[in-house]
Structure 1
Amino acid sequence: MSGSSSAFFSRHPPPGGLTDNDPDSMDERKHRILLQRMERLRESVKALRARVEDLKAANRALRKGSEFHRKLLDRIPSPVLVLQDGKVAVANRAAHLAVGYEEEVLTGRRFLSFVHPEEVKRAASVHRRLLAGKPLPDRYEARILSRDGVAKPYEIVVARILYHGRKAFLLSLWGLEERLAAEKARVTEERMKAVRAMAAGVADAVGGCLERLCSGIAEQTESDLETWTSALREAVEICERLSVLGRSFREQMPAHEAGSLIREAVARVCAAGPAEHPAEAGADVKTYLRTSCRVAGEREALVQALREVVTNAVQAAGDGGNVYVSAEEEAGRVQVYVQDDGPGISPEIGEGIFDPFFSTGEGRGLGLTLARSVVEAHGGSLTYASKPGRGSTFRIQLPISPQVPLKRPRRARRSIKGVSLLVVTDEDLVGHFLCRFLSSAGARVRTVYGAAECLRVLKRKRVDAVLLDLRNNGMRHAVLLSVLKRRDPAPRVVVIAPAGQDPVQEAWRHVDLVLESPLVVDRVPERIAGALSPTRRSS
């Protein structure tokens, strides 16, 4: 001790001229230094005690805050999770109930183990990219598996947070079962509403035609023949229009020049007489076609769709009005504009103009519905713009068909050898003779007696052509003519009609060949062979 003290005082000389040779001064110096050290130690202990008290208070506050936040999380009705390193660090009570695990079992488990196996890859990609700071939507949908293996759909909202000073994810899970059930109920209600409207419209339209037909049959007067015919034709037309609404067209269809489709549609509208469409008599239709492109599709369906839109514009323009039909190419699509200077369409009416059987006039309300269905089935769209008092503009967009090299036309058939013919005739001598003659010419002929038997045969067997004898039962086969052309693939239709009858009436618009009676039998095989050639129509 003495050695160390002497060394200390040798480095720090005492004040006041004291030297190492003075024993009293040395002891006093040592005592004073020890007192100073003790005082400093007491102050350090006091500061440490205060620090400990502060830490205890902070710990109590932290524990109290943690309990408060825990209670707050447990009061949230939806599952909430905190993920760190892909594992569950915190989970509220709703999360425990959702997955069916206790807290000690759930904490520490990987979150992706609760995600449905089909969606694990997508969920992992979202979390990985969010952790890397890449911009992504802050929510995604996934199915979460409970302990018993039941998968429930959730919308998962993700937020990046810091938990204990480290990066983590805060996940909020919102159940989609009720939302999906409500959406399904809404869609079902809309479908049922549409079905009810469709059923009411069909009942009103077809029912009126059948009522007129039945009343005429009950009276059985010769003057009502025209009434029966018009009622039957109207019912057939309504059924044909309704069949188009649910029809799916082939993927590969022939291409047609857009201008020829528009001109044919306009020609049909202008050719309609005042008795059929009284409001169309005074409207002036002008066409401005600035395109020669081609569109792929079924020609008759496209022409009918264009005709319905032009007819609607002509009816809106009224007597003395003007309708302008123009066409141009834009961005790989043909744009067809049909403008009228009529009264326009109010927003209230515009909400339902494409609904079946929605009509503000005397029409059936199927025209625009049919047009939109056909255009959309061909990959296009039908929209409109209108202001009350300023007319309306309907725009039809159809994709342009790519140009393909024209094929050389095949040579027309000159023989019916090997052709499958289904002959619908009465049990008379002329019918039997015709069938035997066609068989001798090499055709495979099968004879049936009536429309019902004809359709039963067509269900089981495909034929090249159907020959209908309309000399005595023209009205009875009128419906059969429309049914045959709705088949896929549709057979060629050949009819035998009395001389002088108009072959282009509405019931025969799908006929491929008309043979006038009395027949020139020697020419029948050649003419049937011509009807089976690429040139479809003959008369």
Structure 2
Amino acid sequence: MAKSFDEERLLDTLRHTEVVLFRVDTSLRYTWVFNLPECFADAGLIGKSDGELLTAEEAEPLMQSKLLAITSGEPARLPCRMTLCGHTRWFDLRILPQRNADGDGDGNGNGNGAGALNPVSELLISGHDVTERHLLAARLHELTHHAEEMRERSARLESLGLLAGGIAHDFNNFLAGLAASISLAQTDLQISLRSHEYLQAALDASFAAQQLTRQLLTFTKGQAPHKHACDMRELLEDATHFALRGSSVAARFEIDPALWTVEADAGQIRQVIHNIVLNARQAMPEGGTIRVMAANAEPGVGGHNDTAVFAAPSVAVTIQDTGTGIAEELRDRIFMPYFTTKGTGTGLGLSTSQSIVQRHGGSLTFTSTPGVGTAFTVRLPAQPGLRVEAEEEAPAEMRGSGRILVMDDNELIRKLVTEFLQNAGYEVAAVSDGDACLRVVAEGLARGETFDAYLLDLTIPGGRGGVDTLRELQLLHPTARAVATSGYAEEEPMIHFARHGFCDVLAKPFRFEVLAATLDRAMALDGNPPLPRPAPREVREHLHDVSL
């Protein structure tokens, strides 16, 4: 069919667009195609129908629309998907019925259409290639769905965090009663050495159980770091051994003997090291050895396998495995929340670790070669010359004197703490809530009596807790020296206790020797308000995070 000059110009123009043209006869076979996508060039459409070319899912709506246009003579529009030559494209099609001027539908006197008057002889179909738009919309839908899933997961984690806080408080109260009972039993001189050892094992187990609640809280609640000078060698060895226990993977430590001190939240950094080592362990199912390296990095110098440059002194910790490595296409997603290549876990391990390191002013980077292994490097600001705080030793004999008021809603804890303190030489009054505390103090002041120290539980269900009680107490007794206690060590008043007027804190469960030492410190203070200082180590530190 000869084309006019105008038609040639139009087709020439359309060659530079994404418009595709088709001619289809009344048997629904293609008779002419124009400007097909290059990937469809070898599809061989001419003389074939959609049923012969496309999948049934793609062909059926196309053929029905074409047949309807032929029988009704009405134009139609529909979106369609076409898969040819192994490639899939999406089109927005317009179907325009074409009629013979002589009223002969197929040239043989066989009419069709409305009363065979000007019947349809063929279909002219124009299609606009909307593949990129479709893929973009699909990607947007995927991202929206992913964002919604993340919001739902975040909401669940927030709920879990609230639940974990309540469980931690109650569970640690139970542990406090257990630990106190065991400690009192150990003071019985009638028990044998073997029984004493059994009691000590039970006591140690109760404090190990306490760490499980801290692991749960660390996982569910992102918190600002509570920094203090850390022994990085001890931290790295403890966290690594914890993550590898029960596996066939060993660790080789290469730690600079003159490693600088890092000021950090030891519990959070343990969680980071634990997460990285756990990933290394899982990448080495057949076993092997991971290298844990730590070295000082001068200002402007990078660390092991690390391109990050710090303007100040830092410590670079690198954990290197010989596992499967990370595929190139996955590397941009490694630190994304909820991304995981494992069948189990939440996909929060590395994203949480990166967040923790960044809150410390550091960096977390990695290098990886598939089939060779992966190395993660943690860079943390260092404090050359800063000394690590020494652990306090328990006194050889727990004896003291003075008047102590104990406020706790748990009857067993009140009873056991009272008994211990009385055995140690203290005079003790015990109450269950803040109102009773204030009443006892007011009655004592009326008789000219005061307490030398107060042990106040922060959380009293249905009653006045420690913070409110101390606020009112200081109106009666301005120089009151109060110690906060709680089964939830991560409460804000436990971390920033001096802001609330407390001179010290005790996280439940606590050892009696720690209780005695804390009360001695409190009573040794003068009558001035307590000066702000870091929370005690047992409050600041969280143990390793659970497997993510």
Q: TM-score, structure 1 length as denominator? A: 0.43
**Larger relative contact order (Cα-Cα within 8 Å, sequence gap ≥ 6):** 2
Q: Considering fraction of residues, name the structure with more helix.
A: 1
Between structure 1 and structure 2, the one with the greater Rg is 1
Q: TM-score, structure 2 length as denominator? A: 0.42
